[in-house]
A and B are shown apart, each in its own frame.
Chain A
Amino acid sequence: MSRTDPAAPPRAGNHDSWTRALSGWIEGLVPKGQWLPDRQPAYVASWIYVFGVACLAALVVVIASGLVLTFGGITWWHTNSFGHFVNSTHLWSVELFFATMVIHLWGKFFMAAWRGHRGMTWATGALAFFGSLGTAFTGYLIQTNFDAQWISTQAKDGLNAAGVGAYFNVMNVGQMVLWHVSFLPLVVGVIVGLHLLLVRRRGVVPPIGAESPVGAESPVAAEPPARAQPPTASAPDAAPPGAARPTAGVSAQEVGS
Chain B
Amino acid sequence: MSGQLVTSTVPAGAVVQWGFLTITAANLIVILTMIVVFVLAILLPFPADRDEDRP
Q: Give the interface of A toward B (CB within 8 A).
A: 45-48, 50-51, 95, 99, 102-103, 106-107, 146, 236, 252-253, 256-257
A-B pair number, CB within 8 angstroms: 43
Contact A50 to B45, CB < 8 A, known contacts A103-B34, A252-B52? no
- Is A257 a contact partner of B41 (Cβ separation < 8 A)? no
Q: Which of B18-55 contact A (CB under 8 A)?
A: 30, 33-34, 37-38, 40-42, 44-46, 48-49, 52
- Is B46 a contact partner of A103 (Cβ separation < 8 A)? no
Query: Looking at chain A's contact residues, is the secondary structure mostly helix, strand, loop, or mixed?
Result: helix
Q: Which of A95, A106, A256 is the one whose CB lies under 8 Å from B38?
A: A106
Cα–Cα, bound, A146→B8 (Å): 8
Which residues on B sit within 8 Å (CB–CB) of A106? 38
- Is A107 a contact partner of B46 (Cβ separation < 8 A)? no
- Is B45 a contact partner of A256 (Cβ separation < 8 A)? yes
- Is A252 a contact partner of B10 (Cβ separation < 8 A)? no
- Is A47 a contact partner of B41 (Cβ separation < 8 A)? yes
Q: Which of B38, B48, B52 is the one whose CB lies under 8 Å from A103?
A: B38
